[in-house]
Amino acid sequence: MTRSAEELLPFYVNGTLDAAERAEVDAALADSADLRAELEVLTALRKQMQAEEVESPGEFGLARLMRDVDRDGPASSAPGEEPGNVVPIRRLRIWQIAAALVLAIGLAQSVILLNAPGDPGFELASGGAAGADFVVGFAPDATEAQIRALLLNAGVEISAGPSALGLYELAVLDETGIQAAEEMLLAAEGRLIDTLEVIAP
């Protein structure tokens, strides 16, 4: 019994394999009594799982949803429309992102000079980069799935953004992993990330 056929077996059971994959599993089943026994187990397991009744919120949940939708107001704008104050990142150019970073850093420095660090209300004018570990602009053709995988692998989460220029602030989930996160984000620069700024600790 091959590892490949074993990995495909659950999807053979749920009927989602293509013809070539089914043929591969069929051939492996013909050769292996163990795999045939496993097929019976998985078939029974799936049947058991699907037979289980789950009490969902049903109409009560729908009523609650409608109440909150009414409070929330109308749904999002139609596909393709963007809120007037947001520039879609796919329209950005590198120089715009760079300019935004220079401006943000300049503003932050101005505020630092104008306010004593201990003053109540002291914060960076660049908006919340305090608490963020990185500021990134994602590549226009980076998909949501690619970005999500990158963030998960790097152990970071989006702490703010998108800014008006489409920049995001990222924070590491575990401070001890900041070095690894930086390396992973740097490795993605030029592919999924157009611009990366590492915020000094």
Partner 1 sequence: MTEDQTQAALLARMADGDRQALAALYRALEKPVFRFIRSRLNDPFEASDILHDVFMEVWRSAGRFEGRSKVQTWIFGIAYRKVIDAHRKRGRTDLVGDVPDSADEGPDAETCLAAGQEAEHVRHCLGTLKDDHRAAISMAFYDDMTYGEIAEIAGVPEGTIKTRIFHAKKLLMRCLSGRVARRAPA
Q: What is the spatial distance between Cα 103 and Cα 93, in angstroms, rounded to a whole number?
A: 16
Nearest distance, CB of residue 22 and partner 1, angstroms: 13
What do you get for the CA distance between the two ends of the chain, in Å?
53
Between 6 and 123, name the residue whose CB sits nearer to partner 1.
6
87 exposure class (CB count in 10 Å sphere: 0-12, 13-18, 19+): middle
Tell me the two tokens of residue 118: 């201990």
Between 64 and 191, name the residue whose CB sits nearer to partner 1.
64
Phi and psi at residue 39, to the nearest 5°: -60, -40
Tell me the two tokens of residue 111: 């505020």
Between 66 and 103, name the residue whose CB sits nearer to partner 1.
66
Q: What is the spatial distance between Cα 90 and Cα 111, in angstroms, rounded to a whole number?
A: 31
Nearest distance, CB of residue 183 and partner 1, angstroms: 20
53 exposure class (CB count in 10 Å sphere: 0-12, 13-18, 19+): exposed
Which residues are at the interface with partner 1 (CB under 8 A)? 3, 6-11, 13-16, 34, 37-38, 40-42, 44-46, 48-52, 54-58, 61-62, 64-66, 68-69, 72, 74-79, 81, 145, 148-149, 152, 173
Between 64 and 91, name the residue whose CB sits nearer to partner 1.
64
Nearest distance, CB of residue 20 and partner 1, angstroms: 14
Between 124 and 150, name the residue whose CB sits nearer to partner 1.
150
Nearest distance, CB of residue 16 and partner 1, angstroms: 4
Nearest distance, CB of residue 122 and partner 1, angstroms: 28
